[in-house]
Amino acid sequence: MESMGNIEIFQSTYIVVALLLFVILLAIYALQKVRKGFLDLSESEGILEKGHVPGANKEMSFVFGTFQQTLQEITQKKKELIQMHKDAVERVRQMERYNECILESMVSGVIAFDRQGKLTSMNEAAAGIFGRELGCGLLGQAYDEVLEGSEAMKEILQQVLRENRRILREEVLLTLPNGERKWLGVNVSPLKGAEGEMIGATLLFTDLTEVKELQRQVELKNRLAAMGEMSAGIAHEFRNSLGAILGYARLADRQAGGNPALREAVEGIIAEVKSFDAMLSDFLHFARPAELNREACEIAGLLRESVEILSDEVEKKKADITLEIDNLPPLMMDRTLIRQSLTNLIQNALQAIDEGGEIRIEVKEMVDRVEIWIRDNGPGIPPDVRKKIFEPFFTTKRDGTGLGLSITQKTIVAHQGNIQMKSDPGQGTLMIVSLPLEKVPMEVSIE
């Protein structure tokens, strides 16, 4: 705001200099008229230039000399004022360029509106957050067009323009035309003029989407830890009871002898007990705190191992699996847990596609992380299912436990990573696993 005040001071100076220049030019014009009259009365222009008129008394010569000196001084002042005017204009231009450089170098978005809610300024960061391009007729647009996608920002701006007061540290949701959602931290302040009057409002905002995602992951981790501590004991008690049931069932099986009906019933009991025991094993694995046994691992090798483990299902589905892997450095990870997680994701993709379907696996190295994309061309996942996909015990499979993706998410989060899902009905599903690019120390070797 201080820089904008400096611009207004320079603009005021510019106006004063322009008025002074106008007055001096007017005086020069009047003096030129007087001078012309003297020239008409003189025998030659050289008489006036010398300040001496033949036949004139001393008083007349003094008047002519003083007039000539005054004319020269005014001419010099005219040149000086013209130069002052040029300097003032250049200083204003430099200050404007300086302010523009400050705005464009900011990582936070800055937008300014006048009192009528018309856009007067937007920096590059703001345009990027809103998914717009600078220019394209943005200046002069109404605030409801510029802030499209965030009703909360519109209401905050209206309140500031109406009440002439600051609104700080608000968190609002922005929905872009492509459906992407962003959380923004917003500060809105009145924009003051040279006299202290409100001439508009400025919005300063920062993208908090990644921060919100980290908060969500921390909350999820805490919630899962609490649930694990509470339920692990219960699961152990269930397991003890299942052991007793299984023992009695096997005893009954031996005593069934030649009774086919009894033997079939006993075998059914044993099968259900084993199924329930497997579910309890998954649950205990999910509830138990993740203890990572980190070692140097090649992502490419783990993915190939996962595909090999599922080779029978791949052959049965006649699936086409494509791997595209960058030349990545080895990472410090828990080999067993990460391989189980990747196997589970690829298996889910296999179960989703039809016979002859396609699965595309890509591994990309980013600035500070590695991303594993597992994409299938199956039927996709409905929105109501997507919301619950990582919740424990939620499943759409007849024989599923609902813990596979929950355990996978827990493993990825334990490695300080995250997992996302993108899917639409009829468009297939994309699972994105993001892991930190924690490279292997030099002294660690890969066997």
- Picking from 351, 381, 352, 376, the residue whose alpha carbon sits closest to that of residue 362 is 376
The radius of gyration computed from the CA coordinates of the chain, to the nearest angstrom, equals 40
Q: What is the pTM of this model?
A: 0.46
Task: Report the pLDDT value the prediction gives residue 445, as an integer from 0 to 100.
Answer: 37
Provide CATH code, domain 106-207.
3.30.450.20
Token reading at 207: 């993208």
| Planar angle of CA 243, 235, 224, nearest 5 degrees | 155
Token reading at 331: 């990472």
- Average pLDDT of adjacent 10-residue blocks, the chain of 447 residues: 51 66 69 58 46 53 68 78 78 70 75 90 87 76 88 91 89 86 91 87 89 81 70 71 81 77 82 77 66 85 90 89 84 88 91 90 87 91 81 71 80 88 86 80 40
Locate tokens 């997680």: which residue? 341
Task: Report the pLDDT value the prediction gives residue 184, as an integer from 0 to 100.
Answer: 92
Sequence length of the chain is 447
Task: Report the pLDDT value the prediction gives residue 1, as an integer from 0 to 100.
Answer: 46
Locate tokens 């090649």: which residue? 298
Locate tokens 């791997």: which residue? 323
In contact, 419 and 434? CB cutoff 8 Å? yes
Provide CATH code, domain 294-436.
3.30.565.10
Task: Report the pLDDT value the prediction gives residue 432, as an integer from 0 to 100.
Answer: 93
Q: List the chain domain ranges.
A: 2-104, 106-207, 212-287, 294-436
In contact, 325 and 363? CB cutoff 8 Å? yes
- In 16-114, DSSP assigns E strands to 109-114
- Picking from 274, 114, 84, 265, the residue whose alpha carbon sits closest to that of residue 199 is 114
DSSP-derived secondary structure for 30-46: HHHHHHHHHHHHSS-HH
Residue type at 130 in one-letter notation: F
In 3-state terms, what secondary structure has residue 132? coil
